[in-house]
Chain A
Amino acid sequence: MTIEEFSFANFIKSVLWLAFWILTVVSLIGIPILFILLFYVEPPEIAGMKITPYLLLTMITNPQVGAPLIRATLESDFFKVAVFPGFGFASIFATLLIFTERKLLAKMQIRVGPHYAGKEALWWIRQFGGFPQLIADLLKLIGKEIIIPASADKIIFLAAPVTMVVASAGLVSLIPVGENWVVADIDVGLLVIFALLGFFPLTALLGSWASNSKYPFIGGLRALHQLVSYEIPLFLSILGVVILAGTLNLTGVVNAQSDIWFLFLLPIGAFIFFITALAELERIPFDIPEAESEIVAGWLTEYSGMAYGLIQLANYVKLYALAAIFVTLFMGGWSGPTIFDSIYIFDSLVFSGEELSSFLWFSIKTFGVAVLMILPRGINPRIRMDILLRTGWAKLIAISFINIFIAVALIYTGVV
């Protein structure tokens, strides 16, 4: 075969030739295989109708028939996992939190923050001037080389970012954003949350050990010691909530707060949970494992490119998840007055008014708590390791026991 001279006609010819072969192969092989597969697949039932392929095509082209399909899609497991209460929603919320953090900290330090990206395109919302900067950052991270240090343990080194994302996705799946709007409704939900929270410092330790370098290893050991100092107060502060609610299921905890938020009954517990959540997130004043002015970037020193990007994504998804857990445990979760009307398309329900307003209340509360968690970064210095250990063991555990006795007293005096 000879190399033909390049011309536009040859280019068009090759494209048409390719299209012809693709069409031929798909129609002769692909479509028969699809039909044979559809013969064996049990058609799902939506609104009393069996969805056969022909009915599905009718539904897509005719909205009046296909309207029940929307609600069925919203309630399917895949949509819940991938889009709404699950990963997609959490990622978008995390992106919003990154932008909020950058803008808010810039305002606190009398800077402007991200400003120029998209300034012309988004001129009508001037405060969101730099929002496309996040997209630019993502593209930059994808385009960067992932440098793996020599004599590093490659598999564990690259598994650490994946593990971080997986553990934070697991956390997100347990959070109820509305009544019956939760990915995984588990009876022992809080215990699963504790198990998943334990993954993060251990991942930090493994990743630092695998990168075979001194600064990351110091950071990883610091992450481990931080875990030792905050985990017991974290568990004990939630025990008061469990005593009052009588259940470990997060939906059950929200339903138990229909009269009064646990924030007002157990303010000490909420305070300890907030402090320990900051320590869990490795945010200032507890960013000891990543202390960038002491040990380069802590356990993240050797991570670059998309591996670093995934760890940061997991960190911000975790910020969303812990703010949402705080809201669920202490601030009544999704509960709030109904302010929206239900949305119907051709007389079939898409979202009821209660659901829409519960999403709104949940988002507002979570965003508020997350901003409170971001704020210390602008005003606090870093705490010292031994002071954190001493505070965690001597003070936080002691007052969390007081919190438990308050909860027991509230039960026995009949207040709750």
Chain B
Amino acid sequence: MAETGFDTLWLMILFGILASVPALILAKIVAPRRRFVNPVKFLPMECGQVPLGEGKARFMMQYYAYVIMFVVFDVMTIFLYVWGTSLLALPQVVTIPIIVFLAILGAAMGYAMYLSGKKDIW
């Protein structure tokens, strides 16, 4: 059951490609295309203004602290699934160290949240 499932998942993904790529090609064939057009048509959209500077501009999003926390805690959440699926097979005593582990992580997360709220260090 487990091994056969992935075959059909790949089939489905292949079917997704087969369903979407011909649509783009069909649009390319059917759609009108004028040879000589104003080059302004292909400029990036900036609400009618002539675009200034690089399109791929660099700018600060201000939420850097959350991204760093995400890298750490997202992996932690997936590892919790290992514990979650095997909970029924484990003795009840084992849950106590897990709760202690979660408490440590929670404290770390709380401190990181406190630091992310301080504007002057970012």
Contact = CB atoms under 8 A, between A and B. Distances in A.
Contacts of A191: 78, 81
A217 interface: yes
A148 interface: yes
Contact of A247 (B12, B45, B85): B85
B74 A143 contact: no
B15 A87 contact: yes
Given A87-B15, A146-B27, A242-B84, A232 B39 contact: no
Interface string B59-90: 00111001101100110011011001101100
A187 B42 contact: no
Given A141-B27, A142-B26, A184 B17 contact: no
B85 A242 contact: yes
B107 interface: no
A142 B9 contact: no
Contacts, number: 201
Nearest to A198: B74
Majority-rule SS of B interface residues: helix
A389 B66 contact: yes
A192 interface: yes
Contacts of A411: 87-88
Interface in B1-26: 1-2, 4-9, 11-13, 15-17, 19-21, 23-24, 26
Contacts of A229: 66
Interface residues of B, number: 61
A394 B109 CA distance: 9
Contact of B17 (A162, A217, A306): A162
A401 B106 contact: yes
Interface string B86-98: 0110001001000
Nearest to B80: A239
B45 A302 contact: yes
Interface of B: 1-2, 4-9, 11-13, 15-17, 19-21, 23-24, 26-28, 30-33, 39, 41-47, 51, 55-57, 61-63, 66-67, 69-70, 73-74, 77-78, 80-81, 84-85, 87-88, 92, 95, 102, 106, 109, 113
Given A187-B5, A411-B88, 12 more contacts: A161-B24, A173-B12, A174-B9, A184-B12, A185-B1, A192-B9, A225-B61, A225-B63, A246-B88, A247-B85, A307-B24, A309-B23
9 contacts: A86-B12, A142-B31, A144-B31, A150-B42, A168-B16, A186-B5, A232-B70, A248-B81, A385-B63
Interface of A: 77-78, 80-82, 86-87, 141-151, 158, 161-162, 165-170, 172-174, 183-187, 189-192, 194, 209, 211-215, 217, 221, 224-225, 228-229, 231-232, 235-236, 239, 242-243, 246-248, 296, 301-302, 305-307, 309-310, 385-386, 389, 393-394, 397, 401, 404, 408, 411-412
